[in-house]
Amino acid sequence: MAIGASDSVGVGASDPAKGSWPALVASRLPAGSPPYTNLGVSGSLAFQAVTQQLPGAIAQKPNVVSVWLAVNDLNATIEPASFAESLGQIVDGLVQMTGATIFVGDVPDLRAVPVYAGTDKARLLAGIQGYNDAIAAIAARNPARVKVVDLFTGSAALVSTGTVSADGFHPSDEGYQLIADRFASAMRANGVPLRA
């Protein structure tokens, strides 16, 4: 199951239904796996996902959940502490109310993404690091069940010209593939039987 925003929906992909990173990860599941559900809502902020996506996720009793909510909050200049409170509600709710292993994506280094061309790069990086510290702290509360998917380390490849769509912000097909690879690698390392 996927909880997220426009990147989970696949905005920027040539075929969003099949080309979003959660759909690409789900395509690697072995035959006979439980059905995959994408609850992502384009434009969602973490505090909105608490009421719009979390209840549906809990109701379906998933065994694996991906959560990638951060960039919209960062763009909306929501303080890391407020973001962490909302994301923590989602992650802790999943831990308490389901048996799922939860994979939480952190924030890539967005400084090379075209839409941020005119921004203060030092301030942007500080914001990213604040969010990533918050994500790491949330995962550390339940390390056996909550895994951080590192999208920051070596993320220049995720945000090159070829991996960003024409809108200058969302991933392209190539970008979605790279994100899916990161999530799939983390999932495989933690026992999810995905094909390579």
**Which pTM does this prediction carry?**
0.94
Rounded Cα distance, 88 and 141, in Å: 10
Sort strands 64-68 and 2-4 into parallel, antiparallel or unpaired: parallel
Rounded Cα distance, 3 and 87, in Å: 11
pLDDT at position 160 is: 64
CATH topology classification for 2-189: Rossmann fold (3.40.50)
Rounded Cα distance, 36 and 1, in Å: 6
Alpha carbon distances (Å) from 80 to 1, 45, 192: 25, 13, 30
Could you say which residues of the chain have pLDDT below 50? Answer: none
Buried-exposed string 24-48: b where 16+ CB fall within 10 A, e elsewhere: bbbebbeeeeeeebbbbbeebbbbb
pLDDT at position 12 is: 86
Q: Where are the domains of the chain?
A: 2-189
pLDDT at position 196 is: 76
pLDDT at position 172 is: 80
Rounded Cα distance, 77 and 83, in Å: 10
pLDDT at position 107 is: 93
92-139 confidence digits (pLDDT tens): 999 999 999 999 999 998 888 888 888 899 999 999 999 999 999 999
